[in-house]
C-alpha cells in the first residue's frame, strides 16, 4: 500500500467524468488499498478516485453512523461503479467539507436516504441502503465521479474558523 497525493482545486481532473471500471485486476486492488490508506491518513471519511488523479469510478467511505455510540466501529465501504438507484423525497441541508477543497465549507442539500448499486472490489454486485450522514458522504463521492464538487451545489460557502471534521 502507498499513500497517494490528494489533488486539490483548481486541478482540472476534478471536473472530469470518471470512466466505468471493467477490469477487476491487481491494479484496481492496489488503487483501492491506496485510496483507503490515503483517506485514513488525510484524515477523511470518504474518497473518490479522481481525488487521487485517477479517472475511474471507484469510491471508498469509512464512517460510523451512530454518533451517540463512541464505541461504534466505523464501517468501510468500497464501491466500484456506484449508481444511485433510489432516493428519498426528504432532503436535508448541512455543511460539507472536501479534501480537495481545503479551507472551505458549504451548505449542501442532499437526499436523506438513498439506495446505491454497484460492485465490490472483486466485481460482484452489491446493493446498499444508506441514510443520514452515510448517504450524504456517498452522494458527495458519486458527484466526484461526475466532476461535480460541493462548491457547484452549495447554497452558501464560507471559510470555517475551526478545522472541518469528516472531510470527503
Ligand atoms: Ni470531496
Task: Evaluate whether residue 124 is within a structural domain.
Answer: yes
Residues designated as active site: 141
| Domain interval for residue 119 | 12-158
Task: Evaluate whether residue 6 is within a structural domain.
Answer: no
Q: Supply the pLDDT for residue 67.
A: 63
Q: Which helix (H) or strand (E) holds 139?
A: helix 132-145
Q: Per-residue pLDDT tens for 81-135?
A: 999 999 999 999 999 999 999 999 999 999 999 999 999 999 999 999 999 999 9
Helix (H, G, I), strand (E, B) or coil at 166: coil
Q: Per-residue pLDDT tens for 34-57?
A: 999 999 999 999 999 999 999 999
Task: Evaluate whether residue 58 is within a structural domain.
Answer: yes
Sign (positive/negative) of CA torsion 166, 4, 33, 119? positive
pLDDT mean over 148-155:
97
Residue 7 has pLDDT above 80, yes or no: yes
Task: Evaluate whether residue 153 is within a structural domain.
Answer: yes
* Region of residue 23 (phi > 0: left; psi between -120 and 50: alpha; otherwise: beta): beta
Ligand 1 mean position, distance from CA 144 (Å):
7
CATH of the domain at 117: 3.90.45.10
The residue with cell 470518471 is 18
Ligand 1 mean position, distance from CA 97 (Å):
7
How many distinct structural domains can be found in the chain? Answer: 1
Residue 66 has pLDDT above 80, yes or no: no
Task: Evaluate whether residue 66 is within a structural domain.
Answer: yes
Ligand 1 mean position, distance from CA 47 (Å):
7
Task: Evaluate whether residue 168 is within a structural domain.
Answer: no
Question: d(Cα 60, Cα 153) in Å, to the nearest integer?
Answer: 21
Amino acid at each position: 500500500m502507498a499513500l497517494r497525493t490528494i489533488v486539490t482545486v483548481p486541478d482540472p481532473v476534478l471536473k472530469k467524468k470518471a470512466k466505468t471500471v471493467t477490469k477487476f485486476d491487481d491494479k484496481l486492488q492496489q488503487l483501492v488499498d491506496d485510496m483507503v490508506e490515503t483517506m485514513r491518513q488525510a484524515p477523511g471519511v470518504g474518497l473518490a478516485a479522481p481525488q487521487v488523479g485517477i479517472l475511474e469510478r471507484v469510491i471508498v467511505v469509512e464512517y460510523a453512523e451512530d454518533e451517540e455510540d463512541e464505541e461504534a466501529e466505523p464501517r468501510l465501504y468500497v464501491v466500484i461503479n456506484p449508481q444511485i438507484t433510489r432516493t428519498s423525497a426528504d432532503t436535508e441541508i448541512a455543511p460539507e467539507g472536501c479534501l480537495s477543497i481545503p479551507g472551505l465549507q458549504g451548505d449542501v442539500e442532499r437526499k436523506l436516504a438513498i439506495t446505491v448499486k454497484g460492485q465490490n472490489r472483486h466485481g460482484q454486485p452489491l446493493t446498499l441502503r444508506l441514510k443520514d450522514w452515510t448517504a450524504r458522504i456517498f452522494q458527495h463521492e458519486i458527484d466526484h465521479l461526475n466532476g461535480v464538487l460541493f462548491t457547484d451545489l452549495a447554497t452558501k460557502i464560507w471559510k470555517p474558523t475551526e478545522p472541518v471534521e469528516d472531510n470527503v
